[in-house]
Structure 1
Amino acid sequence: MPPARDDLHLLLFAGGAVVLAGVAVAVLLVASTGRDGGSTPQKPQPFEAGLASNVEDSVREEGPYYIPDPFGGDDSIVFALEDGEVVALAVNQSDLPNCSVKWKDQFDRFACGDRRFQSEELERFEVTVPKAGPDKGILIIDVRKRLPAPTLSAG
């Protein structure tokens, strides 16, 4: 026995409602996450790396540590301490193409291939920690501002 006409209308209506609900959910997901799937800026800009005191404590207790470029580029960072202050060392040094700087505990130095470095010999990014205002105490890194290694700029 074929389905009754009222049953067909009910099935078509229910199917259409399911499709519309799916489209509505998809639209809400796209609208809430943005078209690019997130809120990461496309161009590098200063970013907050956390409370400066927390980053300093982590480096002091665990040693230098790596964070990937938050903008998806080649400006990854290794946080280290120099004279008790946090520095954001560039993983990719301009004078060392195709080589990424890494911390090596066994040497108590940074390494790139067979070469060893102290942090003062490496390029870094500008670091600021505001003393007042809404960003007070926040470690702000600007990967647009690459600074020379202090030992190279001093000599």
Structure 2
Amino acid sequence: MEGIMGEDVRHQFVVSRLWAGGGATALVAALAAIVVILVATGLFGVPVLVPTGEGAWGGIGAAAYAVSAAVAALAATGLLHLLLLGTPRARSFFVSIMLLLTAITVIIPMSIDVDQGARFATAAGNLFLGVVITGTLSGVLRSAIRAGRLVR
């Protein structure tokens, strides 16, 4: 991207710090997914992507939900890395894309013909996970970037 007088002005960032933060975000997302399941199923008796009657942990469905959240966090880290490499205002694009993806993950369960409680619990859980991943990676970005340096 060009700055004043045609200089190539980009932010430098520490790749290892970005990906270490992305890995930590994946762990946080997986744990947050478990919290979602424990609250919805354990406290309110409403299933989240798992069949009813399997207890607060919900069998393999809980593990799949947690792993999916971790994978989503790593995919979001990859997206952030790509945006940092080639777009102006990478943080703005990242947050916009993540908010739209989060909205999609909230809308999809609401359109499925299942129990209303399960739809709301899954949508609320997905919203919570989207906010956790987006917010945490935004903080990781602040720590990984070295603003104002010129790359030639």
Range class of TM-score, shorter chain: under 0.3
Larger Rg: 1
* Greater relative contact order structure (CA < 8 Å, 6+ sep): 2
More helix by share: 2
